[in-house]
Amino acid sequence: MMKQLRETIRENGVVGAGGAGFPAAVKLESSPDTVIMNAAECEPLLHKDVQLLSRYPSQVIEGFKQIIDITGARLGIIGLKEKHKKLLQQLKSFENDQIRIIPIGDFYPAGDEVTLVYLATGRLIQPGNLPLSVGCLVQNVETLYNIALKKPVVDKFITVGGAVDRPLTVRVPVGISYRDILQTFNITTANYVVISNGLMMGCLESDLDTVVTKRTGGIIVLPVDHACVQMYKRYETERQTIRLAKAACDQCNFCTEFCPRYLLGQPVRPETAMRNRMFSSGDEPAVALGNRFCCECNLCTLYACPEGLDPKGATVIEKRHLIQNNILWEGLPRQVHPMFDYRRVPTKKLMQRLDVLQYPDKGPLEDLSFTFRKVSIPLLQHAGAPAKPVVKEGETVQRYQLLAEAQGKISAPVHASISGTIAGVEHDKIVIEVK
């Protein structure tokens, strides 16, 4: 029975919808004692997890119960911010011996797995380990909703926020372009750009034909001259990150002192990464081994650094080098920093620093319909190997029909998000035109 449930999840192409895209069925082969619902949405201006949980609590909890049953966990913990008082009250009816709710403070990055596991259970994940090493499995709200749906994953919930007159959370077909989505919104600035998946951990999109995948969490519209956009542009290349590290880092250490991974005992030291950029060339980069464990939350660059430098970029240069060359960190067990509780960055303060307090921090879920001619469905929307097409150009397909099958264990199938005609099967995507 449990095996069949896991197989259904695999066949439906359910992957981590919080951004990681790891195939859910593979994750569910483990045996944690505790599963944690990650509802600690912490990216400023994004609201889709909380909206989904408010609108479809029974379905999300059903998915949660299923993963408790599949893994044989003793306990399920819902990690939700304490500021969502109404929703906390609403979810109380689902609490029992097996399911508990842990209210979490409103700070960034509460949704980081290492942080969430510590807050929810008091267990500290050691450097380089997964939540499973402390008996935990973490799953995103939308992933649980998709598990409960028992249908192929063909839609995505995203928040559209920032410089729009009515920020909303909407359900869109996978493969729809940002351009087609934004046509339905009134944009309140003349020259705008878009940041995908959040101001902190997202990326600046140069092309509005970018499409929504199973991993997309939101679209933030900002004026082209907004401070956040300028910051993203300034550090678009590694060269710029290194050049400014050499020129201006005064080694004040603020970046490390605010780093959430450092505060949770991980050996991440962005100030060391900056120093290494000052004193090493690109060919032979000096690296601090612990920087492998940077979670790329961007707090050091967008919040901590008083000089407006890019310690995150410098740390990620080291992280990539360490992963590519399989260089491991070895050290003694770590402990939480005594200042962990006092150096959390409140979301409001972060929003002030990002200069986005003028945008409404809400995104109610509304059922909008969108006008579009085609969807382009990427074959790689997940961690692992891309899916392999099983359809041909000219074929007619129905919504939910299999388009490409998983290749190997760490992979996921993709399905048609609309009914229509296959207009192209390319190396990286399948295009369906509306009939």
Pairwise CA distance, residues 79 & 102, whole Å: 5
Rounded-to-10 torsion of CA 420, 424, 430, 434: -20
Which C-beta is closer to ligand SF4: that of 229 or that of 259? 259
Pairwise CA distance, residues 278 & 286, whole Å: 10
Q: Using an 8 Å Cβ cutoff, are 35 and 27 in contact?
A: no
Q: Between residue 271 and residue 330, which ones bind ligand SF4 under the rule CB under 6 A?
A: 271, 274, 294-300, 304-305, 307, 309, 311-312, 315
Is residue 249 part of the contact set for ligand SF4 (CB under 6 A)?
yes
Is residue 261 part of the contact set for ligand SF4 (CB under 6 A)?
yes
User: Smallest gap, in angstroms, from Cβ of residue 115 to ligand SF4?
Assistant: 10
Which C-beta is closer to ligand SF4: that of 157 or that of 303? 303
- What is the distance of C-alpha 403 from the center of its chain? 25
Which C-beta is closer to ligand SF4: that of 201 or that of 430? 201
The closest alpha carbon to 246, from 270, 268, 279, belongs to 279
User: Smallest gap, in angstroms, from Cβ of residue 204 to ligand SF4?
Assistant: 17
Q: Which residue bears the tokens 């945008």? A: 359
Pairwise CA distance, residues 49 & 169, whole Å: 9
Stretch that binds ligand SF4, among 90-98, 153-161, 269-277, 364-372 (CB under 6 A): 269-277
Which C-beta is closer to ligand SF4: that of 307 or that of 361? 307
- E strand or H helix at 37: strand 34-39
Is residue 84 part of the contact set for ligand SF4 (CB under 6 A)?
no
Beta strands in 304-417, from DSSP E residues, in sequence order: 345-346, 374-378, 388-389, 396-397, 402-405, 414-415
Stretch that binds ligand SF4, among 145-153, 188-196, 211-219, 267-275 (CB under 6 A): 267-275
Query: Using the 8-state DSSP alphabet, how is residue 181 labeled?
Result: H
ω into residue 378 within 30 of 0, thus cis?
no
Return the number of other C-beta atoms located less than 10 Å from residue 283's C-beta.
Answer: 5
- E strand or H helix at 49: helix 48-55
Is residue 250 part of the contact set for ligand SF4 (CB under 6 A)?
yes
User: Smallest gap, in angstroms, from Cβ of residue 270 to ligand SF4?
Assistant: 4
Among 203, 224, 252, 323, binds ligand SF4 (CB under 6 A): 252
User: Smallest gap, in angstroms, from Cβ of residue 266 to ligand SF4?
Assistant: 8
* Amino acid, res. 5: L
User: Smallest gap, in angstroms, from Cβ of residue 248 to ligand SF4?
Assistant: 7
Token pair recorded at residue 214: 């199973």
Pairwise CA distance, residues 58 & 64, whole Å: 10
Which C-beta is closer to ligand SF4: that of 12 or that of 115? 115
Token pair recorded at residue 101: 């709710």
User: Smallest gap, in angstroms, from Cβ of residue 308 to ligand SF4?
Assistant: 8
Token pair recorded at residue 201: 């951990």
Is residue 145 part of the contact set for ligand SF4 (CB under 6 A)?
no
Is residue 221 part of the contact set for ligand SF4 (CB under 6 A)?
no
What is the total count of residues that contact ligand SF4 (CB under 6 A)?
Answer: 27
Among 270, 378, 386, 413, binds ligand SF4 (CB under 6 A): 270
Q: Using an 8 Å Cβ cutoff, are 182 and 219 in contact?
A: yes
Is residue 354 part of the contact set for ligand SF4 (CB under 6 A)?
no
Which C-beta is closer to ligand SF4: that of 28 or that of 42? 42
Which C-beta is closer to ligand SF4: that of 89 or that of 324? 324
Is residue 238 part of the contact set for ligand SF4 (CB under 6 A)?
no
User: Smallest gap, in angstroms, from Cβ of residue 260 to ligand SF4?
Assistant: 6
User: Smallest gap, in angstroms, from Cβ of residue 350 to ligand SF4?
Assistant: 12
User: Smallest gap, in angstroms, from Cβ of residue 351 to ligand SF4?
Assistant: 17
The closest alpha carbon to 335, from 402, 427, 265, belongs to 265
Among 125, 134, 268, 350, binds ligand SF4 (CB under 6 A): 268
Which C-beta is closer to ligand SF4: that of 173 or that of 311? 311
Sequence-ordered list of residues with C-beta below 8 angstroms from that of 278, at least 6 positions apart, any chain: 245, 246, 249
Is residue 251 part of the contact set for ligand SF4 (CB under 6 A)?
yes
Q: Using an 8 Å Cβ cutoff, are 63 and 146 in contact?
A: yes
- What is the distance of C-alpha 357 from the center of its chain? 22
Sequence-ordered list of residues with C-beta below 8 angstroms from that of 326, at least 6 positions apart, any chain: none
- Per CB under 6 A, residues contacting ligand SF4 are 249-255, 259, 261, 268, 270-271, 274, 294-300, 304-305, 307, 309, 311-312, 315
